[in-house]
């Protein structure tokens, strides 16, 4: 019987199978079980307000993991996430509200259709890199939003469309808590998929493309195929997040998917940590909760200076920007790297170097 | 190692902010999470409390009109409390959402779950429409600065109420006025609006109505709500040479349009919907440029001598200010809050026992019949299948740097 507190020290792996194990030690299995248990227990001790906020965090995490597959794993920058969220949301709205089909059909379809749209807008990635690709994806943002707000007969134009919460049989996910569980389950599947993706041939090809695409091509990786695939896989999760968000807020409208949203998602993965699944989640939670935290801070200050409310509200934007700049300067590795450092610190204590 | 410490500090400070947020969250929720149970328990009539959540735009794209609107709404609730509201304690907790819909959604959850609100006063069209499903699910009556026609649909938005003529109705009144007052031939009209739910809201309805009464809509131009330059759009419009141009913007973009129209020497008569009218227009253009500009007035200017303005004056002077310090959008906020408080009052009369719920306030609102607003705004009447209070507006014109009403409250249906 191995002690569950035993940690790996050194590399004693003797086979590739050993090396590929997702949960190498019993300790790791216990840790994962504890984390999942904790996440599932949140609604028991958190208030309705916090469950609502955490649901938003969970949904953003799914989208951020999606974007990280593209930007963090494959190194293709995209500023079109906002619009892809919109494609997911609108697809689900059209399938459930207009065509009257069930949410359980529309959710995967929203992912698939967003994947196709994402793949199409990923085509320029073969020829374009870096800044040029960023502008090409920005075009996706503009084009998609233009279509959504003008194609009134299908999308309802700027007024948007209404959706309803999903249901199974007679049970409807109308409460915050039930929707939280629904989102968490989908997030868990996403995390499992993204973590495993890295262990496959496709995942390794993504990393190779990111590190040096010419070298990857020489090794026999079909650049075109894998770049478009990365766009499609990434957009699939963004689309799922969009559909979940749409059914959560019960409305989709073009103003919900502006360029600001795209930038916010990019900020999530930058602050969280590029190429890290844990980082995507930490970043999504951070970016979603930061305005709330700042808002609460303003509320506390306003108690003493009641006249300063509008000034401080404007200051919130400023603080938001400042935090992002500080992160980029002091910790480009993101929250995931900070977490790693803390872990290392305790692991090596008192003999850290 | 030094670097590591720095990182830890940063992490800690971030944590502190979030933990503080969490703490204050828990304090407040104790009361709101249990409201449902408390509602049964407390039956004493005194100290019944109704919380109204406010979603204000103090720093966003439309803050030019959003800030005075918020100020006016908060002022009325303060005034009404000082006068007593059926022994109720009405509290309005408003916060800034900066005209961003995701923020409005978070803020709405905060009002619902933390502050325990039973009714909401919102502001923008985008956020009001985005929240209409949620307020229907949560059963919170919702009045708003937005007067979008789509909120009239009682089936789809059963808890939204319009406090004044909808944008579409305003547009219809203006088109009818144009038709009635235009001298020779068929009048030609251009529409200038922004690419938001707010801007596009009345466009289709106005086009349909224009066709019906025989006015030609010859051109449409999209001008951003924050535009500081509109010459290219105005030059495009000038090619069609319309007799009139109807503007759906706020003060900022309207003054841009008027200024650039003067620069280009365009002689079209500009007419705006309610968010373009008011004193704030003169902040960005001089009175000479604005001279002759017309617009839809859904409420009185502070300078107007109407009976309903007495209470505004009383409040303002109590605060040590003058009527000149406030503007028409302050009055609009005041009226919006007043209609909500009247609904709460009606609900409190009908249900003298227990805490007041959103459903009861909705009933109260629907029972308001020809509510007299003392000329500050058109009287409103609601009903179970009629959530638009009125379709009447005054048409005003700028004369010598001041707004003057050309008509009394009129509707396109008269």
DSSP per residue, A141-183? HHHHHHHHHH-HHHH-GGG-EE----EETTEE--SHHHHHHHH
> Any idea which fold B167-297+395-405 has?
Rossmann fold (3.40.50)
Contact check, Cβ <8 Å, B11/A162: no
Burial class (CB within 10 angstroms; exposed 0-12, middle 13-18, buried 19+) of B61: buried
Q: What rounded mean pLDDT belongs to chain B?
A: 83
Pick from A56, A255, A293: which is nearest to B17 by CB? A293
Q: What 3-state DSSP class applies to B377?
A: strand
Q: Does A336 touch chain B (CB under 8 A)?
A: no
Rounded Cα–Cα distance for residues B10 and B16 (Å): 10
Rounded Cα–Cα distance for residues A289 and A269 (Å): 15
Burial class (CB within 10 angstroms; exposed 0-12, middle 13-18, buried 19+) of A170: exposed
Q: Are B140 and B358 in contact (CB under 8 A)?
A: yes
Q: Quote the tokens at residue A163.
A: 């959706």
Contact check, Cβ <8 Å, B7/A338: yes
Residue A311 has what pLDDT?
75
The rounded Cα A271 to chain-centroid distance in angstroms is 12
Sheet holding B244-248, edge to edge: B216-222, B188-193, B244-248, B269-272, B294-297, B394-399, B402-405
| Radius of gyration (C-alpha) of chain B in whole angstroms | 23
Give the rounded percent of residues in chain A with a pLDDT score beyond 90.
47
Q: Which of residues 140-199 of B touch A (CB under 8 A)?
A: 148, 150, 156, 195-197, 199
Pick from A49, A56, A345: which is nearest to B114 by CB? A49
Q: Are B394 and B409 in contact (CB under 8 A)?
A: yes
Phi-psi region for residue B368, left (φ > 0), alpha (ψ -120 to 50) or beta? beta
Q: Could you count the other beta carbons within 10 Å of the beta carbon of residue B217?
A: 20
Give the rounded percent of residues in chain A with a pLDDT score beyond 70.
97
Nearest residue of chain B to residue A159 (CA atoms): B197
pTM, 2 dp: 0.82
Q: What 3-state DSSP class applies to B49?
A: strand
**Confidence category of residue A118, pLDDT binned at 50, 70, 90:** very high
Nearest residue of chain B to residue A52 (CA atoms): B109
CATH 2.60.40 fits A48-348, yes or no: no
Cis check for the bond before B182: say yes or no (omega within 30 of 0).
no
Contact check, Cβ <8 Å, A256/B21: no
| DSSP output for A82-131 | HHHHHHHHHHHHIIIIIS---HHHHHHHHHHHHHHHHHHHHGGGGT--HH
Q: Are B164 and B184 in contact (CB under 8 A)?
A: no
> What is the per-residue pLDDT across A21-37, written as a single tens digit (0 to 9) for each?
777 777 788 888 999 99
Q: Which of A13-22, A41-50, B296-305 has the lowest mean pLDDT?
A: A13-22
In terms of average pLDDT, the best of A118-122, A154-158, A161-165, B318-322 is A118-122
Rounded Cα–Cα distance for residues A52 and A57 (Å): 9
Q: Does A297 touch chain B (CB under 8 A)?
A: yes
Chain A residue numbers touching B112 (CB-CB < 8 A) = 49
Contact check, Cβ <8 Å, A331/B10: yes
- With a threshold of 0.95, tell me whether the complex ipTM lies above it: no
Q: Are A91 and A148 in contact (CB under 8 A)?
A: no
Nearest residue of chain B to residue A260 (CA atoms): B100
Residue limits of CATH 3.40.50.2300 in chain B: 45-165+307-383, 167-297+395-405
Give the rounded percent of residues in chain B with a pLDDT score beyond 70.
89
Q: Which of residues 8-47 of A touch B (CB under 8 A)?
A: 47
Rounded Cα–Cα distance for residues B379 and A91 (Å): 43
> What is the per-residue pLDDT across B312-362, written as a single tens digit (0 to 9) for each?
888 888 888 888 888 888 999 999 999 999 899 888 888 888 888 888 999
| Residue with the two structure tokens 């374009």 | A128
Chain B residue numbers touching A293 (CB-CB < 8 A) = 17-18, 20-21
Q: What 3-state DSSP class applies to B145?
A: coil
Contact check, Cβ <8 Å, A53/B105: no
Phi-psi region for residue B56, left (φ > 0), alpha (ψ -120 to 50) or beta? beta
**Confidence category of residue B16, pLDDT binned at 50, 70, 90:** low
Nearest residue of chain B to residue A312 (CA atoms): B59
Q: What rounded mean pLDDT belongs to chain A?
A: 88
Q: What 3-state DSSP class applies to A333?
A: coil
**Confidence category of residue A130, pLDDT binned at 50, 70, 90:** confident
Nearest residue of chain A to residue B23 (CA atoms): A296
Q: For residues B21-28, give the mean pLDDT.
A: 43
- Pairs of residues, one from chain A and one from chain B, whose beta carbons lie less than 8 Å apart: 139
What is the b/e burial string over B307-338, where b = at least 16 CB atoms within 10 angstroms of the residue's CB?
A: ebbebbeebbeeeeeebeebbbbbbbbbbbbb
Rounded Cα–Cα distance for residues B5 and A244 (Å): 39
Residue A1 has what pLDDT?
46
> Could you tell me which residues are beta bridge partners of residue B161?
B143
Q: Which of residues 123-162 of A touch B (CB under 8 A)?
A: 149, 152, 157-160, 162
Contact check, Cβ <8 Å, A251/B130: yes
**Confidence category of residue A2, pLDDT binned at 50, 70, 90:** low
Mutate to test the interface with A, among B96, B124, B148, B196 (most CBs of A within 10 A): B96
Chain B residue numbers touching A341 (CB-CB < 8 A) = 4, 7-8
Is the pLDDT reported for residue B237 higher than 90?
A: yes
For residues B283 and A10, the model is more confident at B283
Pick from A47, A159, A254: which is nearest to B25 by CB? A47
Contact check, Cβ <8 Å, A162/B133: yes
Q: Which residues contact B331 (CB under 8 A, 6 or more apart)?
A: B72, B299, B300, B301, B302, B312, B376, B377
Pick from A158, A174, A326: which is nearest to B196 by CB? A158
Q: Does B24 touch chain A (CB under 8 A)?
A: yes
Q: What is the DSSP letter of B405?
A: E
CATH 1.20.950.20 fits B45-165+307-383, yes or no: no
Contact check, Cβ <8 Å, B130/A249: yes
**Confidence category of residue B7, pLDDT binned at 50, 70, 90:** low
Nearest residue of chain A to residue B59 (CA atoms): A314
Q: What 3-state DSSP class applies to B43?
A: coil
Of the candidates B374, B365, B366, which has an alpha carbon nearest to the alpha carbon of residue B334? B374
Pick from B113, B148, B196: which is nearest to A52 by CB? B113
Q: Which of residues 180-219 of A touch B (CB under 8 A)?
A: none
Chain A residue numbers touching B106 (CB-CB < 8 A) = 53, 56, 291-292
Residue A299 has what pLDDT?
80
Q: Are B302 and B323 in contact (CB under 8 A)?
A: yes
Rounded Cα–Cα distance for residues A40 and A45 (Å): 11
Angle between helices A277-304 and B101-110 (to 10 degrees): 70
Q: Does A331 touch chain B (CB under 8 A)?
A: yes
Residue B196 has what pLDDT?
83
| Residue with the two structure tokens 């494959």 | A74
Q: For residues A159-170, give the mean pLDDT.
A: 85
Q: Does A299 touch chain B (CB under 8 A)?
A: yes
Domain ranges of chain A: 48-348
**Direct distance between the N- and C-terminal alpha carbons of chain A, in angstroms, rounded to an integer:** 33
Rounded Cα–Cα distance for residues A235 and A225 (Å): 15
**Confidence category of residue B378, pLDDT binned at 50, 70, 90:** confident
> What is the per-residue pLDDT across B82-137, written as a single tens digit (0 to 9) for each?
888 878 888 888 888 888 888 888 889 889 888 889 999 999 888 888 888 888 88
Burial class (CB within 10 angstroms; exposed 0-12, middle 13-18, buried 19+) of A168: exposed
Rounded Cα–Cα distance for residues A90 and A159 (Å): 13
Contact check, Cβ <8 Å, A158/B201: yes
Segment (H or E) for B212: helix B203-213
Is the pLDDT reported for residue A243 higher than 90?
A: yes
Q: CA-CA distances (angstroms) from residue B139 to B95, B158, B253, B336, B348?
A: 21, 9, 36, 19, 17
């Amino acid at each position: 019987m191995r002690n569950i507190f035993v940690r790996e020290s050194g590399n004693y792996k003797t086979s590739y199978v050993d090396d590929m194990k997702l949960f190498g030690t019993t300790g790791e299995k216990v840790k994962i079980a504890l984390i999942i248990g904790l996440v599932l227990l949140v609604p028991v001790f958190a208030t309705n307000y916090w469950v609502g906020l955490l649901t938003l965090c969970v949904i953003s995490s799914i989208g951020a993991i999606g974007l990280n597959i593209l930007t963090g794993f494959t190194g293709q920058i995209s500023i079109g996430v906002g619009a892809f969220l919109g494609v997911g949301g609108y697809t689900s709205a059209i399938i459930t509200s207009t065509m009257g089909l069930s949410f359980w059909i529309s959710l995967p379809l929203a992912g698939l259709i967003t994947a196709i749209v994402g793949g199409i807008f990923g085509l320029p990635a073969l020829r374009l890199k870096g800044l040029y690709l960023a502008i090409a994806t920005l075009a996706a943002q503009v084009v998609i939003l233009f279509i959504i707000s003008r194609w009134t007969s299908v999308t309802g134009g700027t007024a948007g469309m209404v959706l309803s919460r999903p249901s199974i049989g007679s049970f409807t996910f109308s409460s915050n808590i039930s929707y939280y569980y629904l989102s968490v389950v989908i997030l868990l599947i996403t995390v499992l998929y993204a973590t495993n993706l890295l262990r496959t041939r496709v995942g390794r090809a993504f990393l190779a493309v990111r590190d040096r695409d010419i070298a990857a091509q020489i090794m026999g990786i079909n650049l075109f195929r894998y770049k478009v695939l990365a766009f499609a896989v990434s957009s699939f999760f963004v689309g799922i997040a969009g559909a979940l968000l749409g059914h959560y807020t019960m409305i989709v409208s073009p103003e919900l998917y502006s360029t600001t949203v795209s930038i916010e998602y990019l900020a999530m993965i930058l602050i969280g940590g590029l190429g890290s699944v844990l980082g995507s989640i930490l970043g999504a939670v951070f970016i979603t909760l930061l305005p709330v935290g700042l808002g609460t801070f303003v509320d506390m200050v306003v108690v003493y200076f009641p006249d300063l409310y509008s000034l401080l509200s404007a200051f919130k934007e400023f603080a938001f920007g400042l935090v992002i700049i500080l992160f980029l300067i002091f910790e480009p590795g993101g929250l995931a790297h900070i977490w790693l450092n803390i872990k290392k610190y305790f692991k090596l204590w008192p003999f850290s170097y | 190692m030094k670097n590591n410490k720095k990182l830890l500090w940063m992490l800690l400070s971030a944590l502190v902010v979030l933990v503080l947020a969490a703490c204050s969250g828990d304090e407040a929720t104790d009361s709101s999470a249990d409201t449902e149970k408390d509602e049964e328990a407390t039956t004493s009539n005194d100290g019944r409390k109704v919380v109204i959540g406010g979603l204000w735009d103090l720093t966003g794209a439309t803050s030019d009109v959003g800030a005075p609107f918020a100020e006016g709404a908060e002022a009325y609730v303060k005034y009404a409390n000082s006068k007593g509201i059926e022994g109720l304690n009405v509290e309005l907790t408003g916060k800034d959402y900066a005209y961003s819909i995701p923020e409005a959604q978070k803020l709405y959850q905060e009002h619902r779950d933390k502050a325990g609100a039973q009714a909401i006063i919102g502001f923008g069209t985008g956020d009001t429409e985005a929240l209409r499903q949620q307020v229907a699910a949560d059963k919170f009556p919702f009045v708003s600065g937005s007067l979008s026609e789509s909120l009239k649909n009682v089936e789809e938005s059963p808890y939204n109420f319009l406090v004044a003529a909808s944008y579409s109705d305003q547009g219809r009144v203006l088109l009818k006025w144009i038709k009635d007052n235009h001298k020779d031939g068929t009048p030609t009209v251009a529409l200038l609006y922004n690419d938001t739910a707010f801007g596009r809201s009345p466009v289709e309805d106005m086009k349909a109505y224009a066709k019906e009464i025989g006015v030609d809509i010859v051109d449409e131009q999209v001008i951003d709500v924050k535009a500081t330059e509109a010459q290219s759009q105005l030059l495009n419009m000038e090619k069609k040479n319309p007799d009139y141009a109807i503007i759906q913007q706020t003060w900022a973009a309207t003054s841009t349009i008027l200024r650039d129209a003067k620069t280009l020497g365009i002689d079209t008569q500009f007419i705006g919907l309610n968010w373009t009218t008011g004193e704030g227009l003169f902040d960005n253009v001089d009175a000479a440029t604005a001279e002759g500009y017309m617009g839809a007035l859904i409420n009185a200017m502070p300078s107007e001598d109407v009976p309903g303005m007495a209470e505004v004056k009383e409040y303002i002077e109590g605060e040590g200010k003058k009527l000149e310090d406030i503007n028409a959008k302050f009055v609009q906020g005041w009226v919006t809050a007043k209609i909500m408080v009247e609904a709460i009052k009606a609900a409190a009369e009908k249900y003298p026992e227990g805490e007041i719920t959103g459903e009861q306030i909705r009933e109260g609102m629907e029972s308001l019949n020809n509510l007299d607003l003392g000329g500050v705004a058109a009287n409103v009447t609601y009903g179970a299948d009629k959530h638009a209070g009125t379709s009447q507006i005054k048409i005003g014109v700028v004369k010598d740097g001041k707004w003057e009403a050309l008509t009394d409250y009129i509707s396109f249906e008269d």
